[in-house]
Amino acid sequence: MSSNSSVIDIAKRLVSLKSITPDDAGCQKIISDILLNIGFKCKTIDKNGVTNLWAIRGCDKPLFVFAGHTDVVPAGKIEEWISDPFVPTERDNYIYGRGISDMKGSIAAFLVATKEFVEEYPKHNGSIALLITSDEEGDAINGTSLVCDYLRENDISIDFCVVGEPTSEKKLGDICKNGRRGSLSGNLILNGIQGHVAYPQLALNPIHSFSPALSDIMNYKWDQGNEYFPPTTFQISNIHSGNGATNVIPGELEVKFNFRFSTENTPDNLKKVIHSILDKYKLKYKLEWILNGEPFITQNGSLIEAITKSILEETNIKTTLSTSGGTSDGRFITKISKQIIEFGPCNDTIHKVNERIEISSLNILKNVYKSTLKKLLLI
């Protein structure tokens, strides 16, 4: 079987398993079987319905890790798909199926790149590992963060980590993520006094009370960003008040909001500013904070040099380093890894109906991963 067809075959086998988060549905058994045959030691870490795999070959430094997830988001309305989302289907030079881009195609490329590299260079320097979870698309509580806790407890640190997130935009290789913004969410409940709209003097409208505070928040300059990150942003994602009647002043206002913040800011500072503005207007409120992830950045170093050169060699594209987009499991891995890069296929159809990947890109992706291994572990 050719290298190209083996990547395609593995990708299809993974897509055919209905691994809707946090169910792995047997994907990691396929992965571990391949790795066991090339000398990896595999450990499964399960908790609360989440399946995690830590597979490692060797014990020397540096430690190179491929990280990814087998879980996928629900397919939605099956009738809206051209073909069954869990029956990988080739059509017009693409493979269609839920998770093919996010991120079972990357995992297939990881596996074949690793297999080819180990078979060609069995006495390579350092060690290689794969960290795979089934809890990235969901709560992300018992997934990669749990494995990172296990690694810390066993004094295992990662030197280089490539996360297979679908980072490319228009063409494979055009975008590589060398960091991510932090994410801080807030659930705010403002208390007022319910009453009749004809007697506002007997009520207290929390929407009206909150309006000047919201104006201050929206006009606040959080920071200017820096060379790696854009300025911090604040967005309201949900807002609700009232019971649907037009003649009732509501007694409560619920607001959900989110910060995407740079390394120029901190969660504590963002919280402090919000509380100071709310307190300025003497509002009665409860505010619950959820820190989804701290910002992280990998500056110039051997990993960036290796993968950018590999992308250029395989695609003839000079990749752009970016910190845009949402959070990823890199937010957990950064606690134990010196250098992290995210690189994978095009993301234009992820989480959408008719998710797909260009067939030819799978082999190119595998070659980029393999070339990166060679540049870092054959020194």
Residue by residue, DSSP assigns 43-70 as EEEEETTEEEEEEEE--PSSEEEEEEE-
pLDDT at 5: 54
Query: Any idea which residues carry the catalytic annotation?
Result: 71, 136
Please, where in the chain does CATH 3.30.70.360 lie? 182-293
pLDDT at 200: 97
pLDDT at 125: 97
Closest by alpha carbon to 347, among 325, 379, 314, 323?
325
Is 252 known as a binding-site position? no
Query: Which CATH number is correct for 182-293, 3.40.50.300, 3.30.70.120, 1.10.287.3510, 3.30.70.360?
Result: 3.30.70.360
Is 313 known as a binding-site position? no
213, 278 contact by CB (below 8 A): yes
pLDDT at 338: 87
Is 342 known as a binding-site position? no
Look at strands 158-163 and 63-69 and give their pairing.
parallel
Over the chain (379 residues), the average pLDDT of each successive run of 10 is 71 98 98 97 97 97 98 96 98 98 98 97 97 96 97 97 98 97 97 98 98 98 95 97 96 98 97 98 98 93 98 98 93 95 98 98 98 95
Closest by alpha carbon to 7, among 358, 324, 379, 366?
366
pLDDT at 3: 45
Q: First CA to last CA across the chain, in angstroms?
A: 30
Rg (CA), the chain: 24
What per-residue string of b and e applies to 239-262 under the rule 16 or more CB within 10 Å gives b? eebbeeeeeebbbebebbbbbbbb
What per-residue string of b and e applies to 285-324 under the rule 16 or more CB within 10 Å gives b? beeeeeeebbbbbbeeeebbebbbebbeebbeeebebbbe
Q: Angle CA(314)–CA(320)–CA(322) in degrees, nearest 5?
A: 130
Alpha-carbon distance values, 271 to 239, 257, 378 (Å): 19, 12, 47
Architecture of domain 3-180+295-377: 3-Layer(aba) Sandwich (3.40)
Q: Angle CA(160)–CA(163)–CA(167) in degrees, nearest 5?
A: 130
Please, where in the chain does CATH 3.40.630.10 lie? 3-180+295-377
pLDDT at 110: 97
Is 69 known as a binding-site position? yes
Look at strands 182-191 and 356-358 and give their pairing.
unpaired
Phi, psi of 85 (to 5 degrees): -65, -20
